[in-house]
Amino acid sequence: MSTTLHDRSPGPGAKRWLAVGVACCLLLGTLFGLWLRRDRAPSEDGVDVGFLRDMVDHHDQANEMAVIALYNGVERAVDRFATEVILTQRWELGRMYAWLDDWGYSLGDPERTDAMAWMGHAGPVATMAGMQSQENLDRLVEGPEEARSQLFLELMIDHHRGAVHMAEAAAEDATVGKVREFAAVTARNQAMEIREYEVALDELRA
């Protein structure tokens, strides 16, 4: 009886070569994927990495201010604002951590002197736009609740203005799409929050 082409099955040698071919394809695919991923990573001294590292430190201080305000007591409306800062910015910090880690970069050194170098004016972290002095943070612990509420809003308005300044620059100059989008959203949201803080501050002062 004759055997048709469809009745034939590959022999051991053919199966072995097929397995080798599949393994090679998988390996090449993995290597190509890693190459693409590395190719997409921005340079460490560029806008994307610089902005994320700086904004991590900026968000960290905003969280510190909010925790101090909540722990020591503030007016109910300000309590809500401080809580929103913690919830929102902790989530944003997680995104920034993940992107830096995905690109193989660490967080910025707190003692670095090149913060905001990506904007053309490098300096220590403490001199970044909107960053508050330790003296101002200490003042948040002192005084009655109403005074602390006003001070928190004043400091956070200034802090947010610095963040908006940085985020608007990154939204224009970052090379990675998701970083540009994140920066634009950050600038928009914090500008809106500034207006809310200003209204609340006027009401407290009335």
Domain with residues 42-205, CATH architecture: Up-down Bundle (1.20)
Which pLDDT score is estimated for 40?
77
Residues of the chain predicted below pLDDT 50: 3, 5, 36, 38-39
Which residues make beta-bridge pairs with 123? 115
The rounded distance, in Å, linking the Cα atoms of 14 and 22 is 12
pLDDT digits (tens, 9 = 90+) for 145-203: 999 999 999 999 999 999 999 999 999 999 999 999 999 999 999 999 999 999 999 99
Q: What is residue 206's DSSP assignment?
A: -
Which pLDDT score is estimated for 143?
82
Sketch the domain layout of the chain as residue ranges.
11-37, 42-205
The rounded distance, in Å, linking the Cα atoms of 141 and 127 is 22
